[in-house]
Amino acid sequence: MLTGPAPAKINLALVVGPGRGDGKHELLTLFQRVDLGDRLWVEPAASTSVEGFPADTIIGAALAALPAPHGWRVRLEKHIPVAAGLGGGSSDAATALRLANAQLASPLSAAQLHAIAARLGADVPFFLADGPQLGSGDGSVLEPVEIPQDFVVLIVLPEGASKQSTASVYEAFDARRGAAGFEGRAAGLRTALRGVHRARDLAALPVNDLASSPLAHELRAHGAFRADVSGAGPVVYGLFQNRTDARRAEAAIRARGRCWITVPAWYG
C-alpha cells in the first residue's frame, strides 16, 4: 500500500478563447498547487473500490486505464470542498494514478501517465507535474513557470454557493462573445508573467475570464494584493504577504462563507 496527498489548485489567471472541435475551449491558465488537500491510500486488490467518497467516478476511471491484471482498493480522506473550482477530483485521480503506477511490475512512463490523465480531464495532468505550470490548449499542455511562492492564500467558499455546470459557464461565456481578442489577451498574460519577480507582482495578471465575484473586491479591500475566482468558481481566493494579514481578512469576511488559510505547495 502507498499513500500520498492530493493537493488542491487555484488558477492564478485564466484566459479563455474560442471553442475547439473537441467540445472544449482554447485557454491559457496559470495553475498553482496549494497545501490544502485530500489524502489517498492505494493498494492492489481483487476488484476496484473507493472508500470514503461514494460519489467518486474519476478515481475508478483513472485506475481502469492502467494495465494491471487486478483491481485496486482506494481509501480517500476528503478535505477539498467538492465542485468548488479547486480541482479536488482531478487531483484525486492524478494521485491515484501516481500511487498505483508505482506499484505496477512495469510502471508506465511519465508521458504515458500524462496521456491517461489528459483523457480524464484537462487539469488532471497538472497534478502529475511539479511546481506552478502554465496550461495551454485545453489546459493539458503544460509549461513550467518560475513565480514567487512566498505568499499566503485565503480561500473562501461563499455561503450558499453552488457550482454551475462547466458547460453552462462556457455557454454563458460564448453568449457574451468572451473569446474576442483571445490571442492578444493570452499574449498579455505571458507578458505579465515575465514581469513577476516578487509575489506582489502577481497582482498584474489578468482577471479570470469565466467568472467574477464581489468577494474578490472585498478581499482586496481587506489587504489582498490579488483576489479572483478560481476556475469556474465558486471559490474565491486572496493572496496576502503573510498569515497575519490573511487571518485579519478571514476575521472580516468569515460570515460570508467557509474559509481556509493555506500556502503554495510545490508538488503532491
CA distance 95 to 81: 17
Q: Hey, how many other C-beta atoms are within 10 angstroms of the C-beta on 188?
A: 17
Q: How many CA atoms lie within 13 A of 94 on its CB side?
A: 30
Counts for the chain of helices (H) and strands (E), in that order: 7, 10
**123 in active site:** yes
Helix H or strand E encompassing 268 = none
CB 161 within 8 A of CB 234: yes
Q: Do strands 257-262 and 226-229 pair parallel, antiparallel, or not at all (unpaired)?
A: unpaired
Give yes or no: 228 in active site. no
Estimate to the nearest angstrom the gap between the alpha carbon of 165 and the chain centroid. 16
Residue 250: helix, strand or coil by DSSP? helix
Judge residue 215's burial from the number of C-beta atoms within 10 Å of its C-beta, 0-12 exposed, 13-18 middle, 19 or more buried.
buried
Catalytic residue chosen out of the listed positions 56, 123, 228, 245 = 123
Helix/strand/coil percentages in the chain, nearest 5: 30, 30, 40
Contact call for residues 62 and 97 (beta carbons, < 8 A)? yes
Cell 481556509, residue located? 260
Burial (CB < 10 A; 0-12, 13-18, 19+), residue 140, is buried
Cα distances (angstroms) measured from residue 73 to each of 39, 64, 102, 259:
14, 12, 14, 32
The residue from 9, 38, 163, 245 that is catalytic is 9
Residues serving a catalytic function are 9, 123
